[in-house]
Amino acid sequence: MNASRGVALALAVSIAGSLALVVIYVVGGSIQQQGIGLALALGGVGTAIVIWAVALIEAPIEIEERHSFATGREHAVVVDSGTGTQEISRRRFLARLLAGAVGILGAALVMPAFSLGPQPGTDLFRTAWRRGLRLVDLGNRPIRPDDLVADSVTTVFPEGFVGRPDSQTLLIKVSPSDLALPSDRAAWAPEGCVAYSKVCTHAGCPVGLYRAKEHLLLCPCHQSTFDVLRGATPIFGPAARPLPQLPMEVDADGYLVALGDFPEPIGPGFWDMTHTPADGG
């Protein structure tokens, strides 16, 4: 077989191997398949280069004088890159194929980086809150509106998910007559209790401070300030979105219970945050 055909064939094998590697990674092939795919991808390029070197390159034998290492004599260095470069440019097709094979191999080698993390999927759109989950405090105790002191703030979680960062929620009791919630949310404040996501809509810090007198929630990270009485709308600082409000009611036993997840994604924004992906939950 003609040597340049051999080179092309080996490169084609490499390309096939690299593409197979990508496919194997995506569909989750076996370790044997991964190993064989990688061996083909690398072996093809390696073989191609070796055939090229042995059979195609007509390099004349050259002689370079050796000098004693002790300093003082002049070194004669022969540099002649001309032949080498010509060799590559003469075989344009093979050179391009080689570049392509190496490029695809590179792409295939990047694939394992995707093992580093899951796809975001619905993670940024959903929290653990679901209809019927009671609000519990850090000690896992359910809460009655009467247990709350007016103008105090409690960090609550969905029952069974205590400590879950994306579900942390602030529960505040105010006098119902002070509340000026958007009309569609009027029912979400039983006995003057309102619950907002604790994750700042600016850059995700826990909104940790409550100025009870003014009914303001403050994020210590960059001083975003949210008005509790008016649906946690931001009134100062860099946050532009209100803290999402948790829909809730009082259940038959008198405890606060969620009516569902937050209506919008919680926390810091992202470009396609208005495109809630469809999901089963």
Partner 1 sequence: MAAEPMLTWIDERLGLAAWARAGLRKVFPDHWSFLLGEVALFCLVVLVLTGVFLTLFYVPDATSVTYSGPWAPLRGQSVSAAFDSVMRLSFEVRAGLVMRQIHHWAALVFVAAIVVHLLRIFFTGAFRRPREINWLVGIGLLLLALTMGITGYSLPDDLLSGTGLRVIYSVVIAIPFIGPYLAFLVFGGEFPTPEIISRLFVFHVMLLPALLIGGVLVHLAILVRHKHSQYAVPGATEENVVGRAFWPSQVFKSTGLAILTAAVLALMGGLIQINPIWAYGPFDATTVSSPAQPDWYAGWLDGALRLFPPIEITALGITIPSPFIPGVLLPGVAFGVMTLWPFLEAWVTGDHAEHQLLDGPREKPLRTAFGVAGLLVFVILTLAGGNDVVALVFGVPVEAMTNILRVAIVAVPLLGFGLTYRICRELFDRREAPGQRRASVRLRRTAAGGFEEIEPD
Residues engaged in binding partner 1 (CB under 8 A):
67-72, 113-114, 116-120, 123-124, 155, 163, 165-166, 168, 198, 202-206, 208-209, 219-224, 234, 236-241, 267-275
From the list partner 1, ligand FES, none, which binds 117 (C-beta under 5 to 8 Å, kind-based)?
Answer: partner 1
Output the smallest distance, CB 95 to partner 1, in A: 27
**Does the protein bind ligand FES through residue 154 (CB under 6 A)?**
no
Residues with Cβ within 8 Å of residue 142, at least 6 apart in sequence: 134, 135, 136, 159, 255, 256
Task: Using the minimum distance from each CB to partner 1, give the nearer residue, 1 or 113.
Answer: 113
- Tell me the sheet residues that pair with 76: none
Output the smallest distance, CB 220 to partner 1, in A: 4
**Does the protein bind ligand FES through residue 221 (CB under 6 A)?**
yes
**Residue of 137, 140, 51, 119 whose CA lies nearest to 91:** 51
From the list partner 1, ligand FES, none, which binds 206 (C-beta under 5 to 8 Å, kind-based)?
Answer: partner 1
Output the smallest distance, CB 224 to ligand FES, in A: 3
Judged by CB under 6 A, the residue of 39, 222, 236, 254 near ligand FES is: 222
Structure tokens given for 140: 């896992």
237 burial level (CB within 10 Å; 0-12, 13-18, 19+): middle
Please spell the DSSP secondary structure of 156-195, one letter per residue: EEETT-TT-GGG-EEEEE--GGG----GGGGGG-GGGEEE
